[in-house]
Amino acid sequence: MTNTSSTLTINGVDKQALDATIDAVRETPALAQVTFSLGSEWLDGCHQRSTTGALHQNGELVTSREASYVLESDEPAALLGTDKAASPAEYVLQALAGCYAVTYATNAAVRGIELSSLRLEMQTDFDLQGFLNLDDSVRPGAQEIRINVHAESPNASAEQLQELTDAVQKRSPIRDTLANPVQVVTTLVK
- Is residue 142 predicted with pLDDT exceeding 50? yes
Work out the average pLDDT over 72-83: 97
Distance, CA of 26 to CA of 182 (rounded, Å): 25
The percent of residues above 90 in pLDDT, for the chain, comes to 96
Tell me the pLDDT of the chain averaged across its residues.
95
Give residue 5's pLDDT band: very low, low, confident or very high (50, 70, 90): very low
Count Cα neighbours of 98 within 13 Å in the Cβ-side half-sphere. Answer: 7
Q: How far apart are CA 120 and CA 67, in angstroms?
A: 27
- Per-residue pLDDT of 79-89, as tens digits, reads 999 999 999 99
* CA–CA distance, 44 with 79 (Å, rounded to integer): 14
